[in-house]
Amino acid sequence: MDFVSVLISLAVGAAAGFLAGTIMKGGGFGLQGNIIIGLIGGVVGGFLFRLLAIAAGSVIGSIVTATLGAVILLLLLGLFKKA
């Protein structure tokens, strides 16, 4: 993975974390926490989409994939946070 790919992945993760924090009730874990959640959510979303044989070929598709993964991750973390 070259430097530009890393920067794009970070930007997609940051956008996904911000969107997921905006979508979720309570705002998630703050801006920095949501960005980290977005990065991890990108991995989770990518795994789930590959498992379901859904392809996200563009940057917008990557943002949608990462956002859905981040929302799922925030939902799961919210369950543990309440417990």
Q: Give the residue extent of every domain in the chain.
A: 3-82
The sign one gets for the Cα dihedral 12, 61, 64, 49 is negative
Say how many CA atoms lie within 13 Å of 5 toward its Cβ: 2
Q: The pTM is what?
A: 0.76
Q: What is the pLDDT of residues 23-52, one digit of tens each?
A: 877 766 777 887 788 888 888 888 888 888
Confidence of residue 63 (pLDDT cuts 50, 70, 90): confident
Give the model's pLDDT for residue 77: 82
